[in-house]
Amino acid sequence: MRTATLMVTNGEADVGVIETAIDTIKQMIIDGELRPGQKLPVEKNLAEQLGVARNTLREAVRALVAMRVLQTRQGDGTYVTSLSPDLLLDGMSFVADIHLDAGAGEFLHVRRILEAEATALAATRIPDADLVHLGDLLDEAETVAACDPVDHEKLVALDQDFHALIASHCGNAVLAAVTHNMSGRTVRARVWRGMSDPEAVHRTLREHRAVYRALLARDSERARLHAALHVLGVEESLTGSGAFAGEAARG
């Protein structure tokens, strides 16, 4: 009956009833008692089963909802989500966002490694139809960049779509999710907003097109290099080494 108490003795130190309830539900998922899509007992019953008050259970459930493990629908019930990696790992983008001052470079370094691998893998896996779609994204981005009042928001969205579409075809959902989330919305927005120089925007778009051509050629190594170089360019533009040294090296 008092499952919660049993879990405490089994697990680590008792740091609180709610933490215990969270870990208990987590463990039920890991153990397979709760499967993706499955409906949980109603709050009243589940609270009684775990030996906690309904409000306490709600805080535990809310924590799991925040980390995309559970999903609640008012009037219906609480369900286990698909637990797919891209769903559970999308909280990482928030981590990247709050470190855009100090640690943005570290996130970008990781993204460079992963994006290079994901792009290389995608070179031999992305369907022709999605390559066409990729080309459309590039064309649209260049159109937007040509306008005088450049819509940076639109460019950010197209940039994100471009990389996400490639990564989604690397054959590894975890790699795609981690890569995608290694730079959050705020980071991407800052990068593009920092491109006051029109030349910087065009250079970035040229890098995108270089990756695109490598994918068209189904050349993994070319794709890997261009992807890495592209992210490296972003890194250097953030650390400031791109404004002088980077630009000089390119020129």
Partner DNA sequence: AACTCCAATTGATCCGATGAATATGAATGG
Partner DNA sequence: CCATTCATATTCATCGGATCAATTGGAGTT
CB neighbour class for 1 (10 Å; exposed up to 12, middle 13-18, buried from 19): exposed
**Residues near DNA, by CB under 7 A:** 16-18, 40, 42-44, 51-56, 58, 61, 72-78
Q: Which does 89 bind (CB under 5 to 8 A by kind): DNA, a second copy, none?
A: a second copy
Selection from DNA, a second copy, none that 40 binds (CB < 5 to 8 A by kind) is: DNA
Residues 6+ positions from 89 with CB-CB distance below 8 Å: 174, 177, 178, 181
Task: Answer for the pair 86, 118: CB distance below 8 angstroms, yes or no.
Answer: no
- Binding partner of residue 103 among a second copy, DNA, none, CB under 5 to 8 Å per kind? a second copy
Residue 243 interaction partner, one of DNA, a second copy, none, beta carbon < 5-8 Å per kind: none
Q: Which is closer to DNA, CB of 8 or CB of 123?
A: 8
- Separation of alpha carbons 171 and 43, rounded Å: 39
CB of 9 to a second copy, least distance (A): 17
| First-last CA distance in the chain | 72
Tokens 């792009």: give the residue.
119
For residue 7, what are its two tokens? 């879990």
3-state class of 183 per DSSP? coil
What does the binding site for a second copy look like in residue numbers (CB under 8 A)? 18, 22, 26, 29-30, 55, 58-60, 62-67, 83, 85, 88-89, 91-92, 94-95, 97-99, 103, 106-107, 109-110, 113-114, 117, 172-175, 178, 186
Least separation in angstroms between CB 95 and DNA: 22
| Continuous segment of H or E residues that includes residue 145 | helix 128-146
Residue 76: name its binding partner from DNA, a second copy, none (Cβ under 5 to 8 Å by kind). DNA
Looking at the Cβ atoms of 60 and 177, the one nearer to DNA is: 60
